[in-house]
Amino acid sequence: MKRFALAVAAAIATAAVAQAQVTEEMLLNDTATTGDVLTNGMGRHLQRHSPLDILNRDNVENLVPAWAFSLGGEKQRGQETQPIVHDGVMYITGSYSRLYAIDVKTGREIWQYDARLPEGILPCCDVVNRGAAIFGDNIYFGTLDARIVALNKDTGDVVWNKRIADYKAGYSYTAAPLIVNGLVITGNSGGEFGIVGAVEARDAETGDLVWRRPVIEGHMGELNGEESTMTGTLNATWPGDMWKTGGGATWLGGSYDADTDTLVFGTGNPAPWNSHLRNAGQPLDDNSGDNLYAASRLGIDPATGEIKWHFQTTPREGWDYDGVNEVVAYTDREGNARFATADRNGFFYVLNREDGAFVNAYPFVKDISWAEGIDENGRPIFVEENRPGDPAEAADGNRGEVVFASPSFLGGKNWMPMAHSPDTGLFYVPSNEWGMDIWNEPITYKQGAAYLGSGFTIKPNYEDHIGSLKAIDPDTGEIVWEFQNPAPLWGGVMTTAGGLVFTGTPEGEFMAFDDMTGEVLWSFQTGSGIVGQPITWEQDGEQYVTVISGWGGAVPLWGGEVASAVNYLNQGGLLWTFRLPQQLAAN
């Protein structure tokens, strides 16, 4: 009898699933459909902009908590997820490779999946996860042991579970996967362990690999089970065998520009950090020491995995200025199709969306020391004295000259996504004003061990603030307004057609700003630091806003003097959902 009841329940569940499948069309139109949030970036352009204006400058003071959800247990640490909302269910990922399905109306848990992580995982920068992807009947997310898992979105049952790479060699996975045309597309993490960055596409139904594209020159690609093409030209920009452990982790995932049918992925630092080992003897005035395609943005053909274009933000990289930061597709005021990206190296770049060609660049933080600026080809004008010295030239051969470089290796901006408003035309960039003492040391590659060849201490550049939310005009580089925050900003930003900009602080405040003036219009103390990514959607005629609170990420682990200045901040793990009650919306 019981078995019969279960069979009936399963049949009903199956019927419900069939109605609520997520299609390619739904992903394509995600921004316009305000009843759900189906994509990382709230739309494939990654603008993190909602056309909703039920909530606006005039009534945001009436925004109140609707429910909160605890991630529970002893596993706290940094919570960096962007929630997905679909068909009455919210999906969030949590620290230590957990995924939760939550009733979006009540905040009650529907199911939870905990990845069983092996001993010996090597996440460099906290046990974070930045979100899931949804398609068909499945929800997908990556795990700290470098696997990609497909779960049935209604039951949490495992549909498939595939290895991306070997965690024992330093690989891990923390980014939100990307879905395009029935493929699940992933990068990899582990750039501090001499791994090799790659982008992979799998059949969303089966998890079978369709293509693989390593992003460091000399490595061979794969398509449909066979070798495809070599990435770049062997030894064109890398000396000797250094390319074999050349880094370039694609750790922040990627995006898809439907207008040009192009995947866009960023690549991390070349390995090791000690740049003298990667371009020893390569003259400064040519490109032979550039270490392609590390510290770059890549345009990739989604059908084949072939590289269509590249733009390297930091050639001859020597400060850990990973080139992974998100690339936002937008249309400028003159109607040109553009990309914008705010790099770790402190410069905000505008690129042509057709071919990734350089259009313009502006500094978005103060005190940049490693480059005087960006030339007309998009190449940095290096300040060579600000490159940490070669230990081979030191008297004892153990430590090269120490330099104070700004921004710090955690970047003028790190992973935390900026937002664009098509209404103001501005970008809202969560930035940090900090520098570092950095020096180089000898290093040899050893599998599964840190491969840096550098030492460092991060320091604040100003006494009263590190964090700086900036509204930037992409046409001129003008900083239209700025909000300064004592602790470094590490959470995502969102804009709305209601004239609002949302973000959170490590001090726990979730804040709404006027998108034109930067005036703080609303703030709520969430109880722990915000390093997550806000979303908004509409339900029963009311507008909702959600953000996760839970302090952690790279700053407490790697932040040097800054880490000790913020070690009073409490950990947590609470998902907050806010609502503007209908009777208060008319104000």
Catalytic residues: 320
Instruction: Tell me the CA end-to-end span of the chain in Å, nearest whole number.
Output: 56
Q: Could you tell me the two tokens for 165?
A: 């790479």
Residues, the chain:
587
Distances (CA, A) of 423 to 41, 53, 329, 417: 17, 12, 15, 19
Of 453 and 572, the one with the shorter C-beta distance to Ca ion is 453
Q: Please, which residues bridge with residue 94 across strands?
A: 98
Q: Provide, rounded to whole angstroms, the least separation between the CB of residue 191 and Ca ion.
A: 4
Q: Going by C-beta distance under 8 Å and a sequence separation of 6 or more, which residues neighbour residue 7?
A: none
In sign, the C-alpha dihedral spanning 489, 492, 495, 499 is negative
Q: Looking at beta carbons only, is 102 or 124 nearer to Ca ion?
A: 124
Helix (H, G, I), strand (E, B) or coil at 311: strand
Closest among 221, 219, 187 to 306, alpha carbons compared = 221
User: Do 197 and 171 form a contact (C-beta atoms < 8 A)?
Assistant: no
Q: How far is the CB of 296 from Ca ion (least distance, A)?
A: 13
For the bound state, the minimum distance from the C-beta of residue 4 to Ca ion, rounded and expressed in Å, comes to 39
What is the rounded CA–CA span in Å between residue 289 and residue 245? 16
Contact 532, 59 (CB under 8 A): no
Nearer to Ca ion, 140 or 160 (CB): 140
Helix (H, G, I), strand (E, B) or coil at 520: strand
Residues 209 and 202: beta-carbon distance below 8 Å:
yes
Q: Which residue is nearest to Ca ion (CB)?
A: 33
CB of 43 vs Ca ion, minimal distance in Å? 8
Q: What angle do CA 433, 439, 445 make, to 5 degrees?
A: 115
Among 547, 365, 557, which residue's Cα sits nearest to residue 466? 365
Which lies closer to Ca ion via its Cβ, residue 159 or residue 324?
324
Task: Give me the residues that bind Ca ion (CB under 5 A), please.
Answer: 30, 33, 36, 191, 268-269, 320, 322
C-alpha pair distances (Å), 541 with each of 181, 278, 522: 32, 57, 21
- The DSSP output letter for 507 is T
In whole angstroms, what is the distance from residue 478 CA to residue 500 CA? 20
Residues paired with 516 in a beta bridge: none
Question: Rounded to the nearest whole angstrom, what is the least distance from the CB of residue 42 to Ca ion in the complex?
Answer: 8
Half-sphere exposure of 402 (CA within 13 A, CB side): 8
Nearer to Ca ion, 294 or 340 (CB): 294
Nearer to Ca ion among residue 251 and residue 348 (C-beta): 251
Q: Measuring CA to CA, which residue among 239, 384, 277, 387 is closest to residue 321?
A: 387
CB of 458 to Ca ion, least distance (A): 14
Q: How far is CA 572 from the centre of its chain?
A: 21
Q: Between residues 267 and 360, which has the closer beta carbon with respect to Ca ion?
A: 267
In the complex, least distance from residue 277 CB atom to Ca ion, rounded to whole angstroms: 16
Cβ atoms within 10 A of the Cβ of 396, count? Answer: 6
In the complex, least distance from residue 227 CB atom to Ca ion, rounded to whole angstroms: 29
Q: Which is nearer to Ca ion, 174 or 485 (CB)?
A: 174
